[in-house]
Amino acid sequence: MNRFLILSIFLFLILSCKKEKINKVDISSIQVTVVVDRFEEKFYGTTEQSLPALKNEYPFLFPVQNPDSVWLNRIKNEEEKNLFVESQIVFGDFKSEKVILKSLFRHVIQNHSDFKPPRIITLITDLDYENKVIYADSLLFVSLDMYLGRNNEVYNDFPKYLSHNFDKKHLVVDVAHAISEKYLNENRSRQFLNTIITEGKKMYMVDRYLPTVSDAQKMGYSNEKFEWVINNESQIWKYFVEKKLLYSTDSDLYARFIGNAPFSKFYIDIDKESPGKIGVWLGWSIVRSYMLNNNVTLQQLLQTPAAEIFKKSKYKPKK
- pLDDT tens digits, one per residue of 66-104: 999 999 999 999 999 999 999 999 999 999 999 999 999
What integer pLDDT is reported at residue 186 of this predicted model? Answer: 77
Residue 223, pLDDT score: 96
Q: Identify the band that residue 24 occupies on the pLDDT scale cut at 50, 70 and 90.
A: low
pLDDT, mean over the chain: 92
Beta bridge partners of 37: 121
Q: Which of 9-13, 269-273, 312-316 has the highest mean pLDDT?
A: 312-316
pLDDT tens readout for residues 147-168? 999 999 999 999 999 999 999 9
pLDDT above 80 (res 287) = yes
Query: pTM for the whole thing?
Result: 0.90
CB neighbour class for 141 (10 Å; exposed up to 12, middle 13-18, buried from 19): buried
End-to-end Cα spacing for the chain:
29
Q: What pLDDT, in 10s, does the model give residues 239-259?
A: 999 999 999 999 999 999 999
